[in-house]
Structure formats: C-alpha cells, structure tokens
A and B are shown apart, each in its own frame.
Chain A
Amino acid sequence: MSERRVVVTGLGATTPLGGTIAETWEAILAGKSGAKPLPQDMLDRYELPVHFACTIAQDPLEVLSKVQVRRMDPSAQYAVIASLAAMEDAGSPELDPDRLGVAIGTGIGGVWTLLDQWDNLRDKGVRRVFPLAVPMLMPNTSAGNVSLLLGARAGAHTTVSACASGAESMGTAYDMIRGGRADVVVAGGTECATHPICFAGFSQMQALSTRNDDPAGASRPYDTGRDGFVMGEGAAVMVLEEYEHAKARGARIYAEFASIGMSADAHHITAPEPEGAGASRAMREAVERAGLQDSDIVHINAHATSTPVGDVAEANAIRRAFGAAADGMPVSATKSMTGHLLGAAGALEGLLTVLAVHHRTAPAAINIDDFDSAIDLDVIRGEHRTLPDGDIAALNNSFGFGGHNVALVIKSV
C-alpha cells in the first residue's frame, strides 16, 4: 500500500479579526489590528496593568443557540463555531462516522467555567454550582462537543502543549489519517483565556505588552519597541482528509499537509533555549519528513509573539535550521494583527499558512517601525509578498511554555 497523503479541504475560524476565516484573511491583507479595550468593570475591579486584548469579533449567539452558549465553556463555543464552518467549507460531505475524527487543542481549557463556578460556590453555595461545571471546564470539552455535534466516532483527541497546542493537534490528526485510523479529521485549536486571572498571571511574568495608549500598535514582533504579547482568543480548525478520499468526492483541495516536526527544549519551563537548538530540530524534522529540500520552503509563518526574548530566539533557531537558505524564506508575523491566541495560535497560523500557499501571498506584518537588527531574517513588512509559481512549500512554527516546539509543512497541490 502506498503512503497515505493528507490534504486540507476545509477551513473555519472565529478570531479577533472576524467571525469567519475569509473575514480574518481579508483583515490581515488590509493590515488591521484585532485589539480592543477590556471591559471597564474588569479593569476597575482588578487594576490590571493591561487594558486591552484581541478578543473575538463575533458574538457566539450569532451562530449558537442560547442553550448551547449556556452549556458550553466559551472555548468550546469557539471550537464548535470554527468546526461547523470548516465542515461547511469542505462541502458538508456525507461521511462514515467511524472514519471521522476530531483533534482540538487548547492551552488552558475551560478556565472561565472553572472560576465562574468557584465564584458561585464561594458566594452562593454548592447548590448554585452548575451541574455541567465539570464537563464544561475539562480541557477536552471542545473535542467532546465537536465530536458530539458532528457525530465523529473515529476518536476525539485533545493536545495540551500551551501555545503549541493548536499546531500539535494537527499533528495528531495527521497521524490518525496516515496511520489509517480515520479518513477525515477536524483539527485545530481553541482558547478563551481572557479571564482576569490570566491577564494577572501573564502580567506578573512580564509577558504582556502594556502599550495601553496604543492597543493597535502593541503587538509588534521584530520591532525594537516590542514589550510583550497581546492576549488573543478564538478558534481555528482545518478539515484534514486523506488525499484519495478527497479526490474521490471531488473536494476542493487547498494544499497538502505535508508533515509535522516536534521537539522539546528541556531547558526552562518558560524561557526559550536562546540558541534555538530544540526549535531548529523541529523545523528540520518537518522539512526532512516532508521529503523536501530547504530551497523548497518559500515562506515561514513564524511564532513571533512580540516578546523581546522569544522573537530573537526563534530567529536564531530558523538560521540554525536553514543557514543561508533562510534568506529565501520570507517571514510573516501575523500575531501583529491577530494577537496571540495561545492554544489556538498554532491552528490559526496553520490556516494562514495554508491560505498563503493557496493564494501565493504571504502577508506583511504591521507595526514594524524600527526593525530590530538582531533579527537576521527576511521579515515581510510594507507590501505583501507574492510567492513563486510551481511547487512550493511553507513552514509554520509554534512554541509553548513547557519547551514544546512544533513545525508544520504545508505544500502546494
């Protein structure tokens, strides 16, 4: 039996830039920021040092019923919205439920539910704790709800690797299809960690930008003025499908999901290994497993969160992985517009990498006014970059606290 190939046949998302992936892509090409002010009562109550975030553009009630919203954590609501959209985008195919899988990653899971229900317990007593508290707060709540709604029975999985979760889930899906456990897998990431505790925790570690006088300019990867990431939320999902299966049903194929590379730093619980040894191993593994040469990679969607240390460490890792060949890999830093969707980030950037390959357009970052000379990369700013004709491939990096490194390779078809 020849090797099973995996292709992308559907995309869906709800993001800080739009209620669909099409709106999100359009906003990215228009160079818009998804930053919005945080609710005033939250700021007053907790005196948070950060006054903004890239919260989602859509009210979940535009898509879901009141009862669905009540019975799902926001992270699961986002995952369901993105998954339904992705399946619709894939042509709403009739599928064998036993061959349809789900893999939805998250960094933190149902943190709003956990803390809302803790508030109820502490302030009103045990009988006011919602009976669905546990199934709403568990990290696999999104995978479970998506599986339930789609009737997907080949397996429903949750990867948890902080900000690499969304990318790693696609690796799970890829392995399911390659290994013959499923023909189609709905894969991606979701996050709703815009709870005050998360702002407080990230602030206390000096990880968040405090550019309160200019929220739209706060996420500025590779700029010398960068001072931390901007919290984002949302979900992004791809329909991954075995190539022959997709061809047989006449599906539109955006791109091939060519491989995934993964590694762990074993260096520090939050700080990236400064020379990028671990991250570069993930990138090399991804390219080699895809059977590609370095020169085939014509674009990188970088993790690029806009932290002073992280952006340089990733740039070093890319150079370490590809040497002079990195000159031919123009880099997009889309978090400059979307903010950092944590456990959904790798998934959203995976989708954006697919679209870059599909449309042969790599988007420019915004907010790079003074490019950091410590970054030895061809970072796209100003004009979007047109990618070459013919067979091309692109890489998407995602890294997470805990030392997780994930690199995806997307190939044109």
Chain B
Amino acid sequence: MADQQEILSGLAEIVNEETGLDPADVQMDKSFTDDLDIDSLSMMTIVVNAEEKFGVRIPDDEVKNLTTVGDAVTFIQSNQG
C-alpha cells in the first residue's frame, strides 16, 4: 500500500507526463482545473493512468468530486486494495 507521499509523487509523475507541468507544482492544495489548468480530456487520461498505477477504480461519477490534488490522493489512499 502506498502512503500519502508516495501517492502524491506518483500522481505528480502522471500529471507531468500528460501535461508537461513540473511535478513540484503538483501539491495537495492545488485545484486540477483552476491552478493546474488541466482540461477534462487530460483529467480522463490522468485518472486512467492513476487507476493502473495504484490498482484502484475511480468511477466516472467520482471524478467530478476530485477538485484538488489532495482529493485525488485521499480517494486513492482510502480505496487501494
């Protein structure tokens, strides 16, 4: 099981690969849309890559609740398994 820090850095890598953003900019309090300027198509790819990396299923209905990076990290952490 990955801890919070491992999930954050894994997610930062995925975001970097999809968008080119510096992984250091991917912080818990950052909003995917407002701060990181990630559009819905990129978000979809990030979600699918995160599912594969962390062995979780993130339902489409859940994605709209993942406003910040922290929301995603928390969801992944509590649904690993």
Interface flag for B25 (CB, 8 Å): no
Set of chain A residues within 8 Å of B2, measured between Cβ atoms: none
Cβ-defined contact, A66 with B17, below 8 A: yes
- Which of A65, A66, A131 makes the CB contact (< 8 A) with B45? A131
Which of A67, A128, A131, A132 is within 8 Å of B19, CB to CB?
Answer: A67
- The answer to the question of A247 belonging to the interface, with a C-beta cut-off of 8 Å to chain B, is no
* Residues A130 and B45 in contact in the complex (CB < 8 Å), given A66-B17, A70-B18: yes
Give the secondary structure class of B's interface. Answer: helix
Partner of B48, one of A65, A66, A128: A128
Cβ of B44 and Cβ of A66 under 8 Å apart?
no
Majority SS at the chain A contact face: helix
The contact string, 1 if C-beta is below 8 Å from chain A, for chain B 23-61, is: 000000000000000000110110010010000000000
Q: Which residues in window 129-159 of A have CB below 8 A to B?
A: 130-132
Q: Which residues of A contact B48 (CB under 8 A)?
A: 127-128
CB distance from B25 to the nearest CB of A (A): 14
Q: How many residues on chain A are close to B (CB under 8 Å)?
A: 9
Check B51–A127 contact: CB distance below 8 A: yes
Within the complex, the shortest CB–CB distance from B66 to chain A, in Å, comes to 16
By a CB distance below 8 angstroms, the chain A residues around B17 are: 66-67, 70
CA distance A70 to B45 in the complex (A): 11
Closest B residue to A67 by beta carbon equals B20
- Please name the residue on chain A nearest to B58 by beta carbon: A127
What B residues does A132 contact at CB under 8 A? 41, 45
B-facing mask of A45-72, CB < 8 A → 1, else 0? Answer: 0000000000000000000011100100
The 6 A-B residue pairs whose C-beta atoms are closest, nearest first, are: A67-B20, A131-B41, A131-B44, A127-B48, A65-B20, A131-B45
- 19 A–B contact pairs at CB < 8 A? A65-B20, A66-B17, A66-B20, A67-B17, A67-B18, A67-B19, A67-B20, A70-B17, A70-B18, A127-B48, A127-B51, A128-B48, A130-B45, A131-B41, A131-B42, A131-B44, A131-B45, A132-B41, A132-B45
Given A131-B45, A132-B41: 10 more A-B contacts, CB < 8 Å: A65-B20, A66-B20, A67-B17, A67-B18, A67-B19, A70-B18, A127-B51, A131-B41, A131-B42, A132-B45
